[in-house]
Amino acid sequence: MPDPTPPTPAGPDPADPRPTGAASGPELPDAATGDNAPDQTTPDPDSPLRTPGAPELPEAAVGEGAVDRVIEGHTYDGIREYDNPMPGWWVALFWAGIVFAPVYMLGVHVFDWIDDYGDDYAEAGRQLEEARALYAATGPSFKTDPGALAEYASDAEMAAAGEADFAAICAACHGQQGEGVIGPNLTDEYWVHGADPEQVWTSIAEGFPTKGMPPMQDQLGEQERAQVMAYVYSLQGTDPPGAKAPEGELVVM
Ligand code: HEC
C-alpha cells in the first residue's frame, strides 16, 4: 500500500523570498490583540512590528502640539489604529442634539411648553383683531354708513372735489354735464336704480356690468366715490342742453 503522506520538503524553498528563522530578521511576536495587546499609547519607533529599514513614522499630530494616542488593543496585523477624536464642538453639538430632541418632542406634542405653528397663527390672529379694534376705535376711517352718505349727498365741498373724477371717468357715458349719453341722464328726477344716497352709492360702487357700467369701486376709493356721488346730486335740476329723455321712475326729493 502506497504512503498517502506527501514527501516532507527537505529545506527552505529557494523560490520563497520570505525570510526564515532568526538569522534573517527579528523575531516577530505573536500578533497581540484585545486584552493581550501591548500597552501602546504612542507610536513606538522601536516596535518589532515595524519592517526593518522602513522610514521613521512621524507621530500623528492634530493641531499644534497634539499627539494622537493609539487605541489600545486595536493592533491587527501590525496595523495600529489611532484615536482621532471628533472636534469638541462637533461632539458638543451631537450631545446637545440628543438632549434637545426629547425635550422638544415632549414640549411640542405632549406638554405644550413650546408654541407650534397653530399657536403662533392663533396668537397672530388675536393681535390682528386687537389692532383692528384699536383702529376702529381711534383710527381715521371714512364713514359710509347711511347717515354719512346722506350728509355727503348735499355737501357742496365734496361735490366740487368730485367734479374732476366725473369729467375723467363718468362723462364718457353720462355726458360732460350729466345730460346722458350711453348712461342715463343724471340731472333729471328720474332714476332707474333709486335716488336714495344708499342706492346711488351702490349704483356707483357696483356699477351695472351687464348694462355697460363697470363697478367704480375697482378704480375709485371710498372717499372719491363719495365725492363723485355728491357731484351727481349737485347736477340735479341743472337741465343741460341735449339732455337725454328721462328713464326710470320719478323721485321727488
Ligand atoms: C362705460 C359707461 C359708463 C361709465 C364710465 C359710467 N357709467 Fe354710470 N351708468 C352707465 C349705464 C349704461 C347706466 C344705466 C344702467 C341701467 O340702465 O341699468 C348707468 C347708471 C348709472 C347710475 C344710476 C342712474 C339711475 O338712473 O339709477 C348712476 C348713479 C351712475 N351711473 C353714476 C356713474 C358715475 C358717478 C360714474 C363715474 C364714476 C359712472 N356712472 C360711469 C354707464 C356708465
Separation of CA 183 and ligand 1 centre (Å): 5
pLDDT class for 193, splitting at 50, 70, 90? very high
pTM: 0.55
Above pLDDT 90, what percent of the chain?
Answer: 56
The mean pLDDT of 101-126, rounded to a whole number, is: 93
* CA distance linking residue 207 with residue 218, whole number of Å: 10
Q: How many C-beta atoms lie closer than 10 Å to residue 44's C-beta? A: 14
Question: For residue 194, is pLDDT > 60?
Answer: yes
Residue type, 75: T
CA 159 → CA 162, 192, 225, distances in Å?
Answer: 5, 22, 10
pLDDT at residue 88, rounded to an integer? 93
Look at the alpha carbons of 84, 90, 92, 97 in this order and tell me if their dihedral is positive or negative.
Answer: negative
CATH of segment(s) 146-250: 1.10.760.10
Q: Does residue 211's CB lie within 6 angstroms of at least one atom of ligand 1?
A: yes
Separation of CA 6 and ligand 1 centre (Å): 120
CA 28 → CA 15, 21, 72, 127, 229, distances in Å?
Answer: 22, 10, 19, 80, 110
Question: For residue 89, is pLDDT > 90?
Answer: yes
**Of the residues 213, 218, 233, which should be mutated to test ligand 1's pocket, given the most ligand atoms within 8 Å of the CB?**
213
The mean pLDDT of 7-34, rounded to a whole number, is: 54
**pLDDT tens, residue by residue, 160-188:** 999 999 999 999 999 999 999 999 999 99
The mean pLDDT of 82-109, rounded to a whole number, is: 92
Look at the alpha carbons of 188, 194, 196, 198 in this order and tell me if their dihedral is positive or negative.
Answer: negative
The mean pLDDT of 77-102, rounded to a whole number, is: 90
**Of the residues 203, 216, 225, which should be mutated to test ligand 1's pocket, given the most ligand atoms within 8 Å of the CB?**
203
Q: Does residue 183's CB lie within 6 angstroms of at least one atom of ligand 1?
A: yes
Q: From the alpha carbon of 229, which atom of ligand 1 is closest?
A: 35
Question: For residue 107, is pLDDT > 60?
Answer: yes
Q: Whose CA is nearest to atom 7 of ligand 1?
A: 213
Question: For residue 21, is pLDDT > 50?
Answer: no
pLDDT at residue 141, rounded to an integer? 73
pLDDT at residue 134, rounded to an integer? 87
pLDDT at residue 81, rounded to an integer? 80
pLDDT at residue 22, rounded to an integer? 43
The mean pLDDT of 93-108, rounded to a whole number, is: 95
* CA distance linking residue 138 with residue 133, whole number of Å: 9
The mean pLDDT of 186-214, rounded to a whole number, is: 96
pLDDT at residue 196, rounded to an integer? 95
**pLDDT tens, residue by residue, 118-152:** 999 999 999 999 998 988 787 667 888 999 999 99
The region of weakest confidence among 27-31, 58-62, 79-83, 178-182 is 58-62
Q: Does residue 170's CB lie within 6 angstroms of at least one atom of ligand 1?
A: yes
C-alpha grid cell, residue 115: 408654541
Separation of CA 153 and ligand 1 centre (Å): 17
Greater confidence (37 vs 194) lies with 194
Q: Report which of 52, 49, 48 is spatially closest to residue 76, judged by C-alpha positions.
A: 49
Q: Domain map of the chain by residue range? A: 29-85, 88-138, 146-250
